Chains A and B, each alone.
Chain A
Amino acid sequence: MSKKRTGVFVCHCGTNIAATVDVARVAKEMADESTVAFTQEYVYMCSEPGQESVVQAIKDNKLDSVVVTCCSPNLHEKTFRDNAKRAGINNFTCEIANIREQCSWVHADKAKGTEKAIKISRSVVRRVNRNKPMEAIAVPVTKRAMVIGGGIAGIQAALDIANAGIEVVLVEKQATIGGRMLQLSETFPTLDCSQCVLSPKMVEVNRHPNIRLMTYSEVQEVGGSVGNFRVKVLKKPTFVDPDKCKICDHCTEVCPQVVPNEYELNLNARRAIYIPYAQAIPASFTLDIDACLGLNPIRCGKCKEVCEAGAIDYDMQPQTVTEDVGAIVVATGFDLYDQENMPEMGGGKVEDVLDGLQFERLISASGATHGHILRPSDHKEPKDVVFIQCVGSRDPAKHCAYCSKICCMYTAKHARLYKKHVPDGRAYVFYIDIRSGGKGYEEFVQRTMEDDDTLYLRGRVSKLYRKGDKVKVMGTDTLTGQNVEIDADMVVLALAMVPSKGTVEIAKTLKIGRDKDGFLAEAHPKLRPVESVTGGIYLAGAAQAPKDIPETVAQAGAAAAKVIALLSQATLNRSPLIAKVRPSHCTGCGMCVDACPFIAIRLENGKAIVNEALCEGCGSCSATCLRAAIDVKNVTQLQIHEMIEACLA
């Protein structure tokens, strides 16, 4: 084996390194290493002349490997590796020693800092000594995408990807797409009709040649990795053929089973066979098997009897389909914080205390009360309505620490729409602050506040309770310093936005992280807002954080753009620093198989075998193996051993 010829390039980084590390001494100490054939210092190694000097040095001194002692590898590892490649050596024989962020910037004592810089540099020289040349692994990319969640985020992402010529599978758990936006009456600040804006997009999704819509379906299992995911989707039986259903209503009229209607937030009831909304897509009825009297044996059968279109099929079976896709967008939306968690606000047990979505359904012309604002208890029109903001939000002690962002706006909207429907009514809004940062938002809120009969009270509500046929609201107005007691006919709570139940489940299935509040975790809070930490999986909408519709649509477009970029490549380059087995030492005990977080190892003929497409190079297998029979390339146990020695010399 020919002697190693490593070049060590010590960067001054101006005075960033040179001020607190004796760079000349670092270079000198490295020159004493037996594998180092050349050392050089430069003021800014990453600059054009700096990089050129490295290329020249490699060529002139026939170097086969490079160590650059400089800033964090996060910044310039790729730069220097590409540079090494230009000079004719393999890019994986170039390593970075971080003597800036982890040394010169944090230690003022030059003597001590220099000692540490020498140790760090020496350990990387020892590591690079055993680096093998590597080539990135080219993996073919499946040019299809999946969007999980059919609300406005999912719909927008699906349309944007489909319009780029890529086939999209859109999976939605409910019987219709549309999500929360379909439950809204009007949207702020323009007050245009939510369904009118959303319906054309829903129809477009249904008709798009590149979109395969799977409603009433749930993702069960996901395998594979970026560019090559294999997803198992369970299609639950609706027992109605959407191609034949004429939405004539006859079936629903004869169905004897009545259950609370979750689409109307339980403000009214539906039958076991139902259509969620008039604008549902797919435009078809669905038979809820849990509400139905039973099909096995058939206990009722009336809906099928009256269906003239012959659309009802009791023999429909659940189907599991496997979809191969290259990228996934998760857009599973939000729920509202459970009122049960707020006993001081009635705990969900006080009548005529509603949440924001329920209020939307009251205002909506297609809702439970046909657009008339009526109290659920006695169907009378409420003349005094109290709106309470920040219910469950901004409360680090007991509930959610964060601000749910949209409540100030929709509460103002609710107050305005309430006044439109009930001109002689009085609206009270309890608030802490007003957050109205979007286009036209501040003006919208100001106009609401200017209405004489809408009273904005800066203060919190300590409790509310039922008294007779009123809801007594005990609050405070901090601007006047007075306590306020209101006998309300109806109370609307702006409850915190929390990640939906489906979001929690899909995060487990996809193995993507969630942040401290349970929302899907983005790869970087500032610079990578639509990517999860896992390659190939993107995030959009309220599942990632509370946001309004314009932000959701923008984020969905951003996620779509990322997907399109990813899938525009024929092959993907994966890092080759993955696990490798030494069959001579492997006894087939299977510990690595169990330890691997990615199920990337299997036993075959008594030996472990690594699936190169799945291995992420984490090294869990290597630390578990008792025999050092499996190791991560270029991060081997031998290399670490020699680095430890270098650190303690």
Chain B
Amino acid sequence: MSEPQADFEPKIVAFLCKWCSSAGSDLAGVSRIQYPANATPITIPCTGAVSPMYILSAFNKGADGVLVSGCHIGDCHYIEGNFLARRKMHLTMELLKFIGVEPDRFRMSWVSAAEGAKFAQVVTEFVDDVKKLGPQDKLKKVVST
């Protein structure tokens, strides 16, 4: 396991649901709340649309952390998508932990369209936690130069 470097900037992919978390992220922007720039957002219709393969693929391509964020339980724009996500992401999380991947590298959150501050906080905390773990090298594809 690599030592956390002082200048290590984690690369994070954030899957945000269009109706809640992406809107919450927009609200953080409108409110000019500052947070670290390490998480690149990918907007999807619903967390229910996040296939576990996206998580595995992100880690395979070198992500140091993966965030999935959606509507609160009971508030899903598509009624049930986040319930399905909750189950799949739980299984993904457990499998990653099982083989020894640090659980802090994969995070799921519920952020509503009204929670701009929470979104900024979730990203800030996540970046901090991933920084402590150092670069992800367990699942990352090694590319010959």
Contacts and interface: CB of A to CB of B under 8 A. Distances in A.
Interface of A: 72, 74, 98, 100-103, 105-109, 112-113, 115-116, 119-120, 123, 511, 513, 521, 533, 577, 595, 597-598, 616-620, 622-624, 632, 635, 637, 640-641, 643-645, 647-648
B34 to A, nearest CB: 6
Given A106-B34, A648-B62, A595 B84 contact: yes
Given A533-B77, A648-B13, A619 B35 contact: no
B5 to A, nearest CB: 17
A513 B26 contact: no
Nearest to A115: B37
A112 B34 CA distance: 13
B109 to A, nearest CB: 16
B37 A107 contact: yes
Given A74-B23, A101-B26, A644-B61, A620 B81 contact: yes
A618 B81 contact: yes
A103 B49 contact: no
Contacts of B40: 116, 119-120, 123, 647
The DSSP consensus for interface residues of chain A is helix
B8 interface: no
B81 A597 contact: yes
A106 B29 contact: yes
Given A620-B84, A644-B57, A648-B62, A597 B79 contact: yes
A499 to B, nearest CB: 15
Nearest to B9: A112
B80 to A, nearest CB: 4
B120 A106 contact: yes
A116 B44 CA distance: 18
B99 interface: no
Given A619-B48, A648-B61, A640 B54 contact: yes
Contacts of B85: 623
B108 to A, nearest CB: 14
Interface string B58-100: 1001110000000000111111110011001000000000000
Nearest to A118: B40
9 contacts: A109-B37, A112-B9, A618-B45, A618-B46, A619-B45, A623-B84, A635-B44, A635-B45, A644-B42
Contacts of A107: 34-37
B26 A622 contact: no
A486 to B, nearest CB: 43
A219 B128 CA distance: 51
Nearest to B85: A623
Contacts of A645: 61
B25 to A, nearest CB: 5
Nearest to A617: B45
A622 B63 CA distance: 23
The DSSP consensus for interface residues of chain B is mixed
A635 B42 contact: no
A647 B120 contact: no
The 8 closest A-B pairs by CB, nearest first: A619-B49, A101-B29, A620-B48, A618-B78, A597-B80, A112-B37, A647-B40, A105-B29
Nearest to B52: A623
Contacts of B34: 106-108
A648 to B, nearest CB: 5
Contacts of B29: 72, 100-103, 105-106
Q: Which has the most chain B C-beta neighbours within 10 Å: A115, A511, A597, A648?
A: A648
A101 B13 contact: no
Nearest to A595: B84
Contacts of B33: 106
A620 B77 CA distance: 12
B88 A623 contact: yes
Contacts of A74: 23, 26
Contacts of A533: 77
B42 A102 contact: no
Contact of B84 (A102, A624, A632, A644): A624
A597 to B, nearest CB: 4
Given A619-B45, A623-B49, A623-B50, 19 more contacts: A98-B43, A102-B41, A103-B37, A106-B29, A116-B40, A119-B40, A533-B77, A597-B76, A598-B78, A616-B78, A619-B44, A619-B81, A620-B46, A620-B84, A635-B44, A640-B54, A641-B57, A644-B63, A647-B58
B37 A102 contact: no
A116 B34 CA distance: 14
A304 to B, nearest CB: 47
B130 interface: no
A577 B45 CA distance: 10
Contacts of B51: 622-623, 637
Q: Which has the most chain A C-beta neighbours within 10 Å: B30, B46, B49?
A: B49
A643 B42 CA distance: 7
A533 B79 CA distance: 10
A511 to B, nearest CB: 5
B133 interface: no
A102 B45 contact: no
Nearest to A594: B84
B105 interface: no
Interface in B7-34: 9, 11, 13, 22-23, 25-30, 32-34
A172 B120 CA distance: 46
Contacts of B1: none
B6 interface: no
Nearest to A101: B29
A645 B63 CA distance: 10
Contacts of B53: 637
Given A107-B34, A640-B54, A644-B61, A101 B25 contact: yes
A632 B11 contact: no
A305 to B, nearest CB: 52
A120 B45 contact: no
A72 B37 contact: no
Given A103-B37, A644-B13, A72 B49 contact: no
Nearest to A513: B75
B54 A644 contact: yes
Given A74-B23, A513-B74, A622 B49 contact: yes
Given A597-B78, A618-B78, A648-B62, A106 B46 contact: no
B58 A618 contact: no
A521 B88 CA distance: 27
Nearest to A120: B40
Q: Which has the most chain A C-beta neighbours within 10 Å: B22, B36, B41, B88?
A: B41
Q: Which has the most chain B C-beta neighbours within 10 Å: A115, A641, A647?
A: A647
A640 B58 contact: no
A101 B30 contact: yes
Interface string B98-140: 0000000000000000000000100000000000000000000
B78 A620 contact: yes
Nearest to A577: B45
Nearest to B114: A525
